[in-house]
Structure 1
Amino acid sequence: MADIIAMLLPFFGLIFIGYLAAKVTKQPAEALGWMNTFIIYAALPALFFKLVSRTPVEQLTRVDFILGEIGATYLIFFLLFLIGFFIRRNSFADCTIQSFAGAYGNIGYMGPGLTLLAFGEAAAVPVALIVCFENAAHFIVAPAMMAAAGDDRRPAIRVAADIARRVALHPFIISTVLGFCFAALAIRPPEAFQRLVDYLAQAAAPCALFAMGVTLALRPIRRVPVEIGYIAVFKLIMLPMTTYVVLSLIGNFDPVWIYSATLLSALPTATNVFVISQQYHVWQERASASILIITVLSVLTLPVFLYLINAGILPPDLIP
């Protein structure tokens, strides 16, 4: 357990440093703009390109793995939506944001660095596939659900065109597709280009975690949602366990793939959930509070999942 805590300490330490820096320097939120631009448009795309381009192409076409992981995520999403809509009697739009709070993990900022450190380079492919395809799914579902809720009054054709544009032009998607092309064609980029990609990729994790801490500090808790009690349980416990069960039942995956997906599912809520809530003016303060509270709680739950995996308590295949 001491080794696991030592592994997690730098990650949560960087988040805390970012949080503390924001509180001490009191910079405005706009000051974070260029760092977020660097992370989203340079560092993380370079990391995903690096991971995918160096992978045998046959490993990049595991549709069963992609569908299993996304299926598990959206099973939790729709369970939370049904609880919010039929039991809590919340609005359609509120239920959508609540469901994202319980199903949209911080896979982009926290996922690659932590998973690669925990499981080594063998985790590179599942991480890249999950980040690419799960983000694409969220980019599609969020505007579609908000359009169904009536908060997006644009014509359906414009909503569909916007969804297609966001998916096709997102830096994570573009970099992953380029990496796939390089892997499929066995293209080896020039050494100078590869060195640049390596430099950018190395900056991805520390910059992303620092920026996450700053973002959390700039969104203080003003309104704690009543729903946080069960949303946190679904996000930090139910989602990783559902992902683990679904993928292990599908079977025929390398254990590292199943464990990587489980660990990514156990990550706290993505800050993008607040961005979505802000974009549609729905559940904003409570989304911000949910992200902060679930991130703090993940300090307790992530070491448990890592221990269960490392100790062999969670076998890679439930039905050998």
Structure 2
Amino acid sequence: MAEIAGLLFPFFGLILIGYVAARVTRQPAEALGWLNTFIIYAALPALFFKLVARTPVDQLARMDFVVLSLAATYAIFLCLFLIGYYVRRNSFADCTIQSFAGAYGNIGYMGPGLALLALGERAAVPVALIVCLENAAHFIAAPALMAIAGDDKRSRLKLAGDVARKVLTHPFIISVIVGFVAAVFSWRPPQPVQQLVDYLAQSAAPCALFAMGVTLALRPLKRVPIEISYIVPAKLILHPLLAYVLMSSFGSFDPIWVSTAVLLAALPTATNVFVIGQHYQVWQERASATILISTVLSVFTVSLVLYVIRATSV
């Protein structure tokens, strides 16, 4: 367990540094904007391109892996939605954000850095597939469900167009597509370009984790909603367990791919859940509380998941 703690210390340490820096310097939230822009539009896309471009094409075509990962995510989503709607009697819109809080993990900011650190370069392809295609699914599901709830006033045609544009122009998706084309044609960038890509890719994890810590500090915990009592366990415990069961039962994957799917499923609630709630003015404060609490508790649950992964792979 000491080895796992040593492995995770720099990872969660960067989040802590970002949190402390934000609390001490008290910069306005707007100050984080350019760092997030750099992460989303430069650092992470460079990392995804680098990972995908040097991967054999047959591995990039494992859509069965993506389908099973999405099945685990949206099974959790559906379960939480039914609890919120039929047991808690919450509104359709509230249930949508609650369900995303329990199913949408912080795979973009935390996933690549942690998986590559813990599992090595062989985790690169499953990370890229899950991050890009699962994010694309969320980009589609969120506005579609909020439109059903009546909180999205756009016409169906405009909604579909906006969703398609958001998916197809997202830097993560574009970088994976470009990387896939490079892999198909065995193309390698010129050395100066490759060096730039390497520099950007190396900065992705530190910058993303620091920004995440700052984000948590800027959204202090005001109250603990009752829903957290079942949303957080669903995210941190049930989601990775279900991912393991599905991957082991219905697919024949490299153990590293299974471990990657389980590890990414174990990540805490994504900060994007707050962004979605803020956009639709639904469940905002409680989404922020869920992100903070699940992130703090994930220090222990992710450590446990990594311990189990290491123990079973020996």
SS at 1:107 equivalent: coil
Q: Which amino acid aligns with 2:60?
A: L
- Alignment deviations for residues 23-55 of structure 1 (CA, whole Å, 9 cap, x no partner): 000000000010000000000000000000010
SS at 1:151 equivalent: coil
- In the alignment, the residues of structure 1 paired with residue 143 and residue 222 of structure 2 have an alpha-carbon distance, to the nearest angstrom, of 26
Structure 2 portions without partners, runs of 5+: none
SS at 1:38 equivalent: helix
The corresponding residue for 2:177 is 177
The corresponding residue for 2:304 is 304
Q: TM-score, normalised by structure 1?
A: 0.97
Q: Which amino acid aligns with 2:193?
A: F
Q: Is the 8 A contact 2:49 2:175 kept in 1?
A: yes
The corresponding residue for 1:318 is none
- In the alignment, the residues of structure 1 paired with residue 61 and residue 239 of structure 2 have an alpha-carbon distance, to the nearest angstrom, of 24
- In the alignment, the residues of structure 1 paired with residue 117 and residue 211 of structure 2 have an alpha-carbon distance, to the nearest angstrom, of 20
- In the alignment, the residues of structure 2 paired with residue 135 and residue 94 of structure 1 have an alpha-carbon distance, to the nearest angstrom, of 20
Q: Which amino acid aligns with 1:230?
A: Y
- In the alignment, the residues of structure 2 paired with residue 220 and residue 312 of structure 1 have an alpha-carbon distance, to the nearest angstrom, of 38
- Displacement of 1:222 in angstroms is 1.6
SS at 2:42 equivalent: helix
- Alignment deviations for residues 255-303 of structure 1 (CA, whole Å, 9 cap, x no partner): 0000000000001111000000000000000000110000001011011
Structure 1 portions without partners, runs of 5+: 316-320
The corresponding residue for 2:50 is 50
- Displacement of 1:115 in angstroms is 0.5
Overall identity of the aligned pairs, in %: 69
- In the alignment, the residues of structure 1 paired with residue 308 and residue 302 of structure 2 have an alpha-carbon distance, to the nearest angstrom, of 10
The corresponding residue for 1:157 is 157
- Alignment deviations for residues 116-170 of structure 1 (CA, whole Å, 9 cap, x no partner): 1111110000000000100000000000010000001111111111110000000
- In the alignment, the residues of structure 2 paired with residue 258 and residue 162 of structure 1 have an alpha-carbon distance, to the nearest angstrom, of 34
The corresponding residue for 2:92 is 92
Q: Which amino acid aligns with 1:6?
A: G
- Displacement of 1:63 in angstroms is 1.1
The corresponding residue for 2:66 is 66
Alignment of 1:1-320 (within 5 A): 1-312=1-312
Q: Is the 8 A contact 2:46 2:200 kept in 1?
A: yes
- In the alignment, the residues of structure 1 paired with residue 270 and residue 307 of structure 2 have an alpha-carbon distance, to the nearest angstrom, of 23
Q: Which amino acid aligns with 1:297?
A: L
- Displacement of 1:230 in angstroms is 0.3
Q: Is the 8 A contact 2:102 2:234 kept in 1?
A: yes
- In the alignment, the residues of structure 2 paired with residue 6 and residue 229 of structure 1 have an alpha-carbon distance, to the nearest angstrom, of 29
Provide the aligned C-alpha RMSD in A.
0.9
- Displacement of 1:223 in angstroms is 2.7
Q: TM-score, normalised by structure 2?
A: 0.99
How many residues are matched?
314
Q: Which amino acid aligns with 1:227?
A: E
